[in-house]
Structure 1
Amino acid sequence: MELSTVLLILLAVAAALILVYFQYFYKNPRKGSLRIILAALRFVTLFSGLLLLINPKFISKDYFVEKANLILLVDNSTSMEEATSKAEISQAIVQLKQDQALNKRFTIHQYGFGNTITTTDSLSFNKGNTDISNALSTLNDVFVNGNNAIVLFSDGNQTLGRDYEYISLNENTTVNPVVVGDTTQYEDISIGLINVNKFAFLRNSFPIETSIRYLGSRPVSSTVTISINGSRVHQERVNLNSIKNSITLNTLVEAQSVGVKTIKIEVNPLENERNTANNSKETAIEVIDEKTNVTVVSDILHPDIGALKKSIESNEQRSVTLVKPHASQSAFEKSDLIILYQPNRNFRSVYEFLENSGANYFTITGSKTDWNFLNRAQESFTVSGSRQPEDILPVLNNAFGLFGLGAFSVNGFPPLQGTLGDIQLNRDNEILMFQQLQGISLDKPLFTILTEGNTKEAVLFGEDVWRWRAQVYRDDQSFQKFDDFIGNLMVYLGSNRQRNRLELDYELVFDNASMAKIRASYFDESYQFDANANISIKIEGKDNDFSRVSPVLLKGSFYEVDLSDLEAGEYNFTVTVQGENLNRSGTFRILDFNPEKQLISANYKKMERLAQQNRGELYYLDGVETLQSNLASSQEFLPVQKSRDNVVSLIDFRILLGLIVLSLALEWFIRKYNGLI
């Protein structure tokens, strides 16, 4: 107890005695034992109250021994089963855990890891991936204080996460890898990464990029075969050696039918090659038929129509149909996008259809446009004034951002034949090109995009656009830039991004079941995320009789279902919101790919670099005794005696309160009994 506290207690005693003296003895004529009893009770009350204010404390020290942490981190992936037996690993772990010298020095913990890390006391070797970096980083965050020694049992072959050999842990943590498996490097040729788009359009060619890797010292030659749904589409011979030990192949393949296509790439094994599991690899792509049907409505013949048709149809996924304004409504209903070329009063039924359907369209005006009719037929814009024909040059708006323009530029373009007049845009708009007249740039749109709700409209206030396409060819000997510009415009106008209350996020193809997850987002009628929905998913196998209904669980700001227990194959699914007329369907495929079988030799060199990076040493499974001896004799991991200061109150405040209440009650009772109140 501190000296100041003792002095305060003495002052409290003195103060209580002085107050009692003045209350019961100073100029008090009363004599006898009653006065002494009442004075004693008052002293107890006053002194206890002052002690409550002082709250005297004293410090007690607890002494304890803090041991270092010995963390046994075991790779629980399927590749370990090929590298060693459970009995060997278990024996090594038991040997470490039961060592008396280690138990005196360390508090021993055991963890297993695959994709994630968990505490464990048994081995299963059933994890589909290995993420060493995640396991080490997690332990680094958990064991912050004290000295820590991590013993990593692994073959060093990582299939997920960042490169573990560059991880630097806390200064108080060392990593001692124990190499498990065969360290002999065998000659091997394998398929590396495969890059392919998620989607391809029907009748279009899509690229397949793959790398072929070789591990060995002699020149070798092998054949690479690419198959789609079992049919060979490409074959190529590759030559590799110890210097040129990898090659990247780029292949274009035509999408000939709709659906999810399995792409299999194989390389013929070398003579006496031990590991052939990595000689083939699969991925998939979904071929979709999303042909855009564009209808051009015109009452006149003009070179612009031919130029637009050729430009739009330069992409095989788009087709153009030419119709007159009096065509039947069914001709417009089949269209994804309508182009109105120089509308006149014959377009009345076309505008009625557009108003009723809310379809997107592209209007081109010119010298044959009936402006009086056009101003009445639509409300997007109005043109007033003299409407005198004039040659108008384009000025590109560099701030335009609704869709990409790529390398498209209007520098040096010939003028369009437009109409002088005041243009008033009545809807939300973004101007793509401004007008330039006789060298003077005008704040008037030549080409603009108008939007209202989900409806999008493009307007070009000028004809002779065929001259622009010809100018591009004159400059580049190709129509590509102009055709790409028109293609981007068609993509923008042809898409209706209406928000759905039930949105799904999933991959069409999962490399293996451990990665198979489907996420869902559900919104109420005001499009606010609803965390109280009851969502379920029904999964049916295409290749078997598998069928299951599972709940989709809330995970923060989305719903998710884990499908890691499914076997390889193709599945249909339907996600349903219970109590609402909302559901979404789809299909996905799980490939029979095991990343743990791609390598058979232990990567001891990488584990050695990890040990050097984190102040440890490399060991082998048959050298566990050396590891035991080094840990038991290391001066770094000696137990440390520490003390802990416990601040304790001298008297429990509840006892003091009880004394105050008791003394006051007794004093009142005695006074009442003796008629002093």
Structure 2
Amino acid sequence: MSSETLLYIILAGITALSLALFQYLYKSKLKSNLKYVLTTLRAISIFGILLLLINPKFESFTYFDEKPTLVVAVDNSESILYLKQDEKAREVLNALESNAEINERFDIKAYSFGKSVGTLDSLNFNERQSNLTLALKQFGEVYANQTAPIVVLTDGNQTYGSDYSYIANGIKQPIYPLVLGDSTLHSDLSIKQLNVNRYVYLKNKFPVEIIANYSGKATINTELKIWSGNTVVFKKTLQFSASKTSEIISMAIMANSVGVKTYRVELVPLENEKNTVNNIKNFGVEVIDQKTNIALVYDRMHPDLGALKKSIESNEQRSVSILKSKELLNKINDFQLVILYQPNNSFNLILKEIKDQKINTFIIAGTTTDYELLYNTNLNLLWTITNQTENFQPELNKNYNTFIIDNLDFSNYPPLQSEFGGFKSSAPSDIILYKTVNGINTGDAMLATYEVDNMKHALLLGEGIWRWRAQSYLDTESFMDFDSFMGKLVQYLSSNKKRNRINVDYKSFYNGNDDVIITAQYFNKNFEFDNSASLSIVLKNKENKTIKEVPLLLNNGNYTVDLSGIKAGLYDFTVKHNSESVAISGSFQVLEYNVEQQFLNADISKLKTLADNSNGELYFASESELLINNLLNDNRYKTIQRSTKNIVPLIDWKYLLGLIVLSLFVEWFIRKYNGLI
């Protein structure tokens, strides 16, 4: 309580007493001792009312003991089971959780991790990938303001995410890796990495690069073979030694037929080699007959041109040629799609040719676009432009249903410079992005698609799309989200296939540890997205003829099913509506590969670096008792007494109000009883 508040209380007491004495001793003619009782009651009433007006605040403290948190994270990936360390992991975990002294000293929080982190309900060691970096980063954020040492039970073999060795530099907590796995080094051959393009073209040779590794001291000879079915398409003799532990092998393989082609790379194993799983790796390529050629026509240079070319060509099936309009006239038939960047008078001839040839277009309009020219080209565009520019933010239309849009969040994307107003098409159009200003949707389209005269068109009102691609990288450290969005738009525009009531998005083949996720959209007879449909996928393994049916679940505007974990092989599938005769079929292949079985030993060196950089310590599975003792004896992990200060204003104290009411009532009663009222 401040000295100022205390002074007010003293003045309130003096004032209350003075007023009471003035009324009952100075003014009153009472001669009995009753006047002293009434004076006291009146002083109490006035003082209580003045206290409520002053409303002083009182502080109270509550003390409690806070134990440090002990974070225990267990690697739940398949590599633990493959290295036969699953029982050891359970033993160490049980030793930590059941130790009475540890429970008295720490508040234990147990987690498991694979590709993601979760609370530890049970251990089954079936996670197909492990991301220790993500787990440590999340623990560092959650327990940033606490004393919380982190014990990690793992083999240190990470298969997903960035290198965890130096993640400790951004984490305040000590980390104690407990090694699960053999530290003995065995002679081992492995295929460390395989680089190959996903798409190749018929009658072309495609490059393959293989990095083969050897761990051991003796000089050995082996042979690298690449199989296509039962045929060896490439082989090479390799020699390794203690000084030469790796070799990069490059070759080119001819693509002779269209479709998905699978290959098997094999390193002939050493005699008595302990782990031969990592000697074999499968890969696949999709052989396509032709490339989609796209013309990007411009009149002035702009960063958007380079961003569009990079984005579209991130898919190897597409090629972008940046041309002036005059350059395109003589070879317009070589392209399946023409992108017109800010067309003006110089585009006059090419726009007429596009109309005559019925070529699909993607028009990008900006501050130098001639809108009257576009209006006169019979592309069915009606403009409501005011010739004033503004920066507009994009807002995704979640009801867009022409093709599947992944969960791309445009809300934090930079604005594009565009004219006030919008456009309308005489043909039905579907808006992908709306224009917004200060978070208010203007109702005008920023990006839309429409179809007319067997032609497909898209129109983007705004320049500066290169900033969107840059923002995508800032958000996710990858251009993939934006490039995928542009790729689907270009795929729609460059194809003349009729619309289906069910659209399915999937890959022709998946590597063994890829997430096998299939996405679908269902439309009613008016081609409006139906979010109440019941869809399912019938999956048939072409090798063992097994069939299973799985429902698709509605997730963020799309129907999805996660088939991750299915066995390697060829699959046919049909996505169907469960109450209508509407369905679509396809096929894909899952290549055999288990990244968690590629390791022979625990990665002790990385775990040691992790422990040293975090002021922790490395332990082996047999040293769990030593770990427990060191945790108990470490002075950094002591129970801390903390206090909570509560500030209570007097106006919340209901007893004071009761005292005021009681004193006034008693005073009134005494005066009434004695005939003073």
Deviates most, 268-277 or 258-267: 258-267
Please give the per-residue CA displacement for 1:158-206, whole angstroms capped at 9, x wherever unaligned: 1111111111256641112122221111111112222222223333332
Instruction: Determine if contact 1:336/1:494 at 8 Å carries over to the other structure.
Output: no
- Give the drift of 1:216: 1.9
Instruction: Determine if contact 2:534/2:579 at 8 Å carries over to the other structure.
Output: no
- Give the drift of 1:144: 1.4
- Give the drift of 1:278: 0.8
Instruction: Determine if contact 2:456/2:493 at 8 Å carries over to the other structure.
Output: no
Distance in 1 between residues matched to 2:665 and 2:357, nearest whole Å: 90
Distance in 1 between residues matched to 2:49 and 2:580, nearest whole Å: 67
Distance in 2 between residues matched to 1:141 and 1:649, nearest whole Å: 36
Please give the per-residue CA displacement for 1:56-106, whole angstroms capped at 9, x wherever unaligned: 333333333332222222111122123345443333233233334433432
TM-score by length of 1: 0.63
Change in 2 beyond 3 A, CA 1:666/1:355: farther
- Give the drift of 1:34: 9.7
Show the counterpart of 1:484. Answer: none
- Give the drift of 1:230: 4.5
Instruction: Determine if contact 1:292/1:494 at 8 Å carries over to the other structure.
Output: no
- Give the drift of 1:627: 1.7
Show the counterpart of 1:561. Answer: 561
After TM superposition, the structure 1 = structure 2 runs for residues 164-563 of structure 1, keeping only pairs within 5 Å, are 164-169=164-169, 172-290=172-290, 358-359=358-359, 495-496=494-495, 506-512=506-512, 515-519=515-519, 534=533, 536-543=535-542, 544-555=545-556, 560-563=560-563
Instruction: Determine if contact 1:190/1:212 at 8 Å carries over to the other structure.
Output: yes
Distance in 2 between residues matched to 1:52 and 1:578, nearest whole Å: 70
Instruction: Determine if contact 1:128/1:514 at 8 Å carries over to the other structure.
Output: no
Distance in 2 between residues matched to 1:118 and 1:203, nearest whole Å: 48
Please give the per-residue CA displacement for 1:6-50, whole angstroms capped at 9, x wherever unaligned: 443333333334445566776466898998888777655543433
Distance in 2 between residues matched to 1:29 and 1:618, nearest whole Å: 92
Distance in 2 between residues matched to 1:337 and 1:214, nearest whole Å: 48
Instruction: Determine if contact 1:73/1:150 at 8 Å carries over to the other structure.
Output: yes
Instruction: Determine if contact 2:524/2:530 at 8 Å carries over to the other structure.
Output: no
For the residue of structure 1 that corresponds to 2:636, the secondary structure is helix
Instruction: Determine if contact 1:514/1:563 at 8 Å carries over to the other structure.
Output: no
* Structure ID, larger Rg: 1
Distance in 2 between residues matched to 1:76 and 1:13, nearest whole Å: 70
Paired residue type of 2:81: E
Paired residue type of 1:619: Y
Deviates most, 259-268 or 514-523: 514-523
Instruction: Determine if contact 2:513/2:595 at 8 Å carries over to the other structure.
Output: no
Change in 2 beyond 3 A, CA 1:577/1:650: farther
Show the counterpart of 1:78. Answer: 78
Paired residue type of 1:541: K
For the residue of structure 1 that corresponds to 2:146, the secondary structure is coil
For the residue of structure 1 that corresponds to 2:58, the secondary structure is strand
Deviates most, 70-79 or 655-664: 655-664
For the residue of structure 1 that corresponds to 2:174, the secondary structure is strand
Please give the per-residue CA displacement for 1:305-334, whole angstroms capped at 9, x wherever unaligned: xxxxxxxxxxx999xxxxxxxxxxxxxxx9
Change in 2 beyond 3 A, CA 1:76/1:497: same
Show the counterpart of 2:15. Answer: 15
Distance in 2 between residues matched to 1:511 and 1:33, nearest whole Å: 101
Paired residue type of 1:603: D
Show the counterpart of 1:619. Answer: 619
Distance in 1 between residues matched to 2:578 and 2:662, nearest whole Å: 65
- Give the drift of 1:355: 6.1
- Give the drift of 1:139: 1.0
Paired residue type of 1:264: R
- Give the drift of 1:379: 6.0
After TM superposition, the structure 1 = structure 2 runs for residues 576-591 of structure 1, keeping only pairs within 5 Å, are 586-591=586-591
Instruction: Determine if contact 2:352/2:377 at 8 Å carries over to the other structure.
Output: no
| Structure 1 residues not aligned, in runs of 5+ | 294-315, 319-333, 339-350, 362-377, 382-450, 457-490
Paired residue type of 1:536: L
Instruction: Determine if contact 1:531/1:554 at 8 Å carries over to the other structure.
Output: no
Instruction: Determine if contact 1:283/1:509 at 8 Å carries over to the other structure.
Output: no
Change in 2 beyond 3 A, CA 1:638/1:549: closer
Change in 2 beyond 3 A, CA 1:537/1:252: farther
Please give the per-residue CA displacement for 1:565-604, whole angstroms capped at 9, x wherever unaligned: 5333333445578999997654332233211110121221
Distance in 2 between residues matched to 1:138 and 1:519, nearest whole Å: 29
Instruction: Determine if contact 2:16/2:43 at 8 Å carries over to the other structure.
Output: yes
**Number of aligned residue pairs:** 511
Distance in 1 between residues matched to 2:668 and 2:521, nearest whole Å: 71
- Give the drift of 1:228: 3.0
Please give the per-residue CA displacement for 1:605-636, whole angstroms capped at 9, x wherever unaligned: 22111111111222111122222222222222
Instruction: Determine if contact 2:140/2:172 at 8 Å carries over to the other structure.
Output: no
Distance in 2 between residues matched to 1:44 and 1:317, nearest whole Å: 90
Instruction: Determine if contact 1:571/1:587 at 8 Å carries over to the other structure.
Output: yes
After TM superposition, the structure 1 = structure 2 runs for residues 37-76 of structure 1, keeping only pairs within 5 Å, are 46-76=46-76
Distance in 2 between residues matched to 1:337 and 1:107, nearest whole Å: 64
Paired residue type of 2:552: P
What do you get for the CA RMSD once the two structures are aligned?
4.9
- Give the drift of 1:120: 1.4
Change in 2 beyond 3 A, CA 1:89/1:243: same
Show the counterpart of 1:103. Answer: 103
Paired residue type of 1:239: Q
- Give the drift of 1:275: 0.6
| Structure 2 residues not aligned, in runs of 5+ | 294-316, 320-332, 338-350, 362-375, 380-449, 458-489
For the residue of structure 1 that corresponds to 2:605, the secondary structure is helix
Instruction: Determine if contact 2:140/2:171 at 8 Å carries over to the other structure.
Output: no
Instruction: Determine if contact 2:172/2:614 at 8 Å carries over to the other structure.
Output: no
Please give the per-residue CA displacement for 1:438-471, whole angstroms capped at 9, x wherever unaligned: xxxxxxxxxxxxx998579xxxxxxxxxxxxxxx
Percent identity reads: 37
Instruction: Determine if contact 2:536/2:578 at 8 Å carries over to the other structure.
Output: no
TM-score by length of 2: 0.63
Distance in 1 between residues matched to 2:109 and 2:263, nearest whole Å: 45
